[in-house]
Amino acid sequence: MCTGTRFSFLVILATPAGATIARAQGPYCKPLDNTGNHILYTVQPQATSPSDSAYRAKVWHIPLLAPSDVAFVTDENVCQQAATAYDREVSPETSTLTRGVYVIRLGTSYLVVDSEYPAGEWMRGIVLDSSFAKQSGIVGL
């Protein structure tokens, strides 16, 4: 019989770089689910491999990063600011503040991805600097 007591659990997952992260539970950060893992595993080699330097520099406008500089973000404050900036720069049909975004930290920048507003077969994303200003154009993932 349920007595109305609520329990909260924190799920800890390991990233490919060995860092520990917590699964997002709030309204602005999407969780590290299958889509989040896909984004992280796609971005990490592109941001950390010297062979992708032209793409990284010309499209994402980020330097070569160490694997530890690429991390899935679960901080609700960061995700809220990222979603607000994404809405301002990309103008999706509906606000990401109502559905959340995937955020990947890229050194001092953030890749913000809206999985629910695709461009054909691609998810739309944008790289923002540390002050949440536009750093790249729209990228497809």
pLDDT tens digits, one per residue of 54-76: 777 788 889 999 999 999 999 99
Q: How many domains is the chain built from?
A: 1
For residue 77, being part of any structural domain is answered with yes
Find the domain containing 67 and state its range.
12-140
For residue 57, being part of any structural domain is answered with yes
For residue 1, being part of any structural domain is answered with no
The pLDDT tens digits for 91-108 are 888 899 999 999 999 999
Tokens of 49: 């491999």
For residue 107, being part of any structural domain is answered with yes
The pLDDT tens digits for 14-50 are 444 433 344 445 799 999 999 999 999 999 988 998 8
Distances in whole angstroms, Cα of residue 68 to Cα of each of 3, 44, 50, 62, 72: 44, 10, 15, 15, 11
